[in-house]
Amino acid sequence: MIVFEHPEALLTIPLIIAIYIVFKSVIGKRLCGKIHVVEHPLVDYIEPATTEPRSGKLRRILFDTLSLLSIISIVFALASPINQYTIVQHIETKRIGTLEIKVKPPVVLVLDNSGSMSGEKIETAKKALLSFIDKIDNKLDIGLVVFNGVVDIAVPPTPNITKIRKIIPTINATDGTMYTYPLNIVYQWLKPYRDFNVPVFVVFASDGLPADGNQVPFILQKYSAKKIPIYSIFIGKEQGGYDFLKQMSEKTEGEAFLADQINKLVDKFNLVAEKILSKVETNVSVKLTYNITRTVRENLSMYFGLASVCLLIACVLSRFSEYNITF
């Protein structure tokens, strides 16, 4: 966008054009006639031309146009034109700190404890969670969410693994199945980690389709945008339920597993633990990504000044080549 620091200078353009026309048509002719008097004995006998040739009119229009454009360019230069625009810079800081001092990458265990998980399923699931924690071996902070129609237990990622171990045996199966509540809570916990480029992981285990399945894709968009992978484990043989969890994992760049027999559940959790550990870097750099918006102002006065000089030179050269005069 072009703006002017001294826009009042532009108001003189109509006045300059009017002065130029008056000077050219009236004052200039009289002044030129007084200064350049032609004296020759045969002048009185020369018959003046009644009309000006067409080529002469076109040349005169060209000279006047070049002269006016040169003057207008000077006025634009005096008005201090500024080319002003906004740019957004994407900046990522590098190695401003390491995670080895204050924080470890987190993994959140999300377990369905709805009524369909009662009996052997819930008891085996609790063993699988404890086995997973043993496999992680304090290399990651661990969080825990247990849900059914609501969220029963919610423990944010913590290095206090003993606290998680004490809670797991208290889990009981009851009520329905809603995915959106645990997914929203886990996202709020893990988003700050991702803002600093910390790797995070979610292990999501369930044995059935959710009642709010139509709302889940909207939440997964946020997971995908922040690169929060979901490693899902479906408990049972229901193909529809497994396909739903598989889509959750695929949309978040995680991985899906099927425990079609309950005695395979502990092995599946251990396998997920191994995959997560293989992705955790021993020394994770903290990077902060942010955008800076700044306004750039480029002064164009020099360009209009150069344009004025070029137009003036073109006018002088044209007149000289046509009439051998420079005025």
Following DSSP, what letter does each residue of 185-216 receive, concatenated? Answer: HHHHHHHHHHHTT---EEEEEESS--TTGGGH
Report the distance separating Cα 20 and Cα 24, nearest Å: 6
> pLDDT value at position 282?
45
> pLDDT value at position 55?
60
Looking at domain 106-279, which CATH architecture does it have?
3-Layer(aba) Sandwich (3.40)
Quick check: pTM over 0.85? Answer: no
Looking at the predicted structure, is the pLDDT value of residue 101 above 50?
no
Looking at the predicted structure, is the pLDDT value of residue 307 above 90?
no
**151 pLDDT tier (thresholds 50, 70, 90):** very high
**97 pLDDT tier (thresholds 50, 70, 90):** very low
- The model's pLDDT over 120-145, given as tens digits with 9 standing for 90+, comes to 999 999 999 999 999 998 899 999 99
Closest CA to 189 of 151, 160, 157, 163: 157
Per DSSP, what are the bridge partners of residue 85?
Answer: 296
Report the distance separating Cα 174 and Cα 177, nearest Å: 9
> pLDDT value at position 98?
44
**327 pLDDT tier (thresholds 50, 70, 90):** low
Lowest-confidence pick of 16-25, 27-36, 298-307: 27-36
Looking at the predicted structure, is the pLDDT value of residue 210 above 90?
yes
> pLDDT value at position 100?
44
Residue limits of CATH 3.40.50.410 in the chain? 106-279
Instruction: State the Cα angle at 267 between 262 and 269, rounded to 5°.
Output: 95
What is the rounded average pLDDT of the residues 45-71? Answer: 68
Burial of residue 321 (CB within 10 Å: 0-12, 13-18, 19+) is exposed
What is the rounded average pLDDT of the residues 153-168? Answer: 95
What is the rounded average pLDDT of the residues 44-61? Answer: 61
> pLDDT value at position 10?
79
Closest CA to 139 of 173, 105, 90, 112: 105
> pLDDT value at position 292?
76
Average pLDDT of the chain is: 83
Determine how β-strand 289-299 pairs with β-strand 255-259.
unpaired
CB 16 within 8 A of CB 78: no
